[in-house]
Structure 1
Amino acid sequence: MTTRNTFAQGMTLTWRSLVPLRNQPGELIQLLLQPIFMIVIFVVVFGAMSGDQAGAVQHLLPGVLTQVALTQTITTGLRLAEDIGNGVFDRFRSMPIARSAPLMGRILADTATMTLTVAVALLVGAVVGFRIRTSPLEALGGVALLLVFTLALGWVSAWLGLRAKSAASMQGMATAVLLPLTFGSTALIPAANLPSVLQWWAALNPVSHLADSLRALFTGGPAGAHIWITLGWAAAIAAAFVPLAVRAYSRRIR
């Protein structure tokens, strides 16, 4: 199977994963409502409590974007677990397609919906006062960095979905992975305000580096090494979990 054929099959299965959203718009609406609720809760409410609404919006919204994107990566594993339960993989077993194509299709489809979610979040952010203070190229770089990282994390979700016995157990495992990543980071709280026992973890946490990168790329200020560290984490996660997910898929369709 050539790389070109694998990519073509992956794109075909990407379209297969996106078509149901046209027939069941409720699922897409739910995905788009999530960032709105999180922005209202974290940015508007917490910002008002802080006494500096404008400053809080500028600081919190990149962190909320990070949390929204990471939370939606759970969708990849959930859909794969549902496909297993519905017998979809039994049909894939008899088809002459690359082992990675169904996984690629699912992850690329979720990345496409993620792009729409990020766009909605930025629009809602603009309504509540968030302002991008960098160049269009830097802002697009921030969106691209967010998508690259969540694309890599999507392979972790895929692996969990293929290992899980049900969609419910997959959601539980994914939540256990994401909670320390999201809430043990500087996405919403500055490192200096975290308990000392968590500050060392926040400094290592890739989500902290992602959130700080987005702040620099959207609102200005020095990015330091955060962007390169985020890209390094994305590459390491993909290098580890792409083969693990493909191997888990191969075992499920035997």
Structure 2
Amino acid sequence: MWCFNLYKRPKLSAAQLAAILPLAVVHTLGNLFTNMSLGKVAVSFTHTIKAMEPFFSVILSVMFLGEMPNALVIGSLVPIVGGVALASATEASFNWTGFWSAMASNLSNQSRNVLSKKLMVKEEESMDNITLFSIITVMSFLLTAPVTLIMEGFIFSPSYLQSAGLNVKQIYIRSLLAALCFHAYQQVAYMILQRVSPVTHSVANCVKRVVVIVSSVLFFRTPVSLVNAIGTAIALAGVFFYSRVTRIKPKAT
């Protein structure tokens, strides 16, 4: 889009690139740890652990942004996290590698969101969400490409995939679709992040996990238990409660 002038090409200083590099590092680590967890445990268990994102967001927002949530806001996070955990409890499988990978992903992703928010609102170096995320993505690619090629990139050639009995064309098509969908999701998430606080962003992301669980149930035709239904209802009720308490304005003294 920059090459064909479909979107305004950014003019970046060395100081801005240095400020964005840590975001690219934690962005890369967040995606890496998420995929490590998905490779070790069930999807539902990964999303159960990642439902703790709001707590990481609150802590990091206090540390880096100085945003101190009130007791009602903190209390509203409990049913959200608990509800999502309950919704996937019947499918959860435990593995220490998968557990700690998902926890590390929480820390990495929320660090990226909080630090990105800090950069977005910094007047002398502010940039729009599309530009910021695009630069983060390019940096993340440059960080991972050499490592990927050295460790396994040359192994997974078309001939290797065919010898393993896999449909190469199907893998390419599904990988492309997954990449487009994932990038679109991340881009929209950044567009939302510029308009809301990191805590609100993480709450919406938490509810997304309910959608993931429900979608997987429909796609894989997994039987839905009463526990799943109750957990989903509690999580959605928690989001409604959060949306109400964040609108309460403090009384003037």
TM over 0.5: no
Highest RCO, 1 vs 2 (Cα 8 Å, sep ≥ 6): 2
Which TM-score tier does this pair reach, normalised by the shorter chain? 0.3 to 0.5
When normalised by structure 1's length, the TM-score is 0.41
Structure of higher CA gyration radius = 2
